[in-house]
Amino acid sequence: MRRAIFPGSFDPPTNGHLDIIERSLPLFDEIIIAILNNPDKHPLFTVEERCDMIREILPLVKNGKCEIRVDSFSGLTVDFAKKSNATAIVRGIRAVSDYEYELRMALMNRRLDPEVETGFLMADEEYSYVSSTLMKQVFMLGGRVAGLIPELVEKRMREKLSTPE
């Protein structure tokens, strides 16, 4: 069984996240979307809300034979991977700045547990500038995020922030 985790805050989930999930499916038998509980980030959505949103938008992903699960965790990503019997961590890379950060994290994870490998997938150029933080900022300032986040997520953001359409 080739099992991987795709960790992140997913606050909110974006089409870039869905792109990385979809493109990682042929590589593994099972992928766990691992939602980080990091209160230091002051999330817009609770961990439970993010888990629910991911579960609701997963049907948008073209899935072959790979099983997809959603879970949440606190603490070190590599510890969650080990606890989940995952041998890989999937990370999306949008730009060189992402690579520098992700490389440091991957090397530290390897030092903490050499049996867990990190794989990088390049974001589709359509989403190369999309981040959860940017989507929240643009949305809160009244900008359009259609096509960059799933409709369900935009609806939930509108409800959460009581923003008219």
Residue 111's contacts (CB-CB under 8 Å, 6 or more residues apart) are none
Q: Is 42 a catalytic residue?
A: no
Catalytic residue of the set 17, 50, 91, 136: 17
Say if CB 71 and CB 36 are below 8 A apart: no
Residue 64's contacts (CB-CB under 8 Å, 6 or more residues apart) are 25, 26
Catalytic residue of the set 3, 50, 94, 156: 94
Q: Which alpha helices (DSSP H) does 3-141 contain, by range? A: 15-24, 47-57, 77-83, 96-112, 132-140
Catalytic residue of the set 41, 55, 62, 104: 41
Beta strand 88-93 with 30-36 is: unpaired
Residue 1's contacts (CB-CB under 8 Å, 6 or more residues apart) are 29, 30, 85
Catalytic residue of the set 50, 91, 132, 136: 132
Q: Is 17 a catalytic residue?
A: yes
Q: Is 69 a catalytic residue?
A: no
Query: Catalytic residue positions?
Result: 17, 41, 94, 132
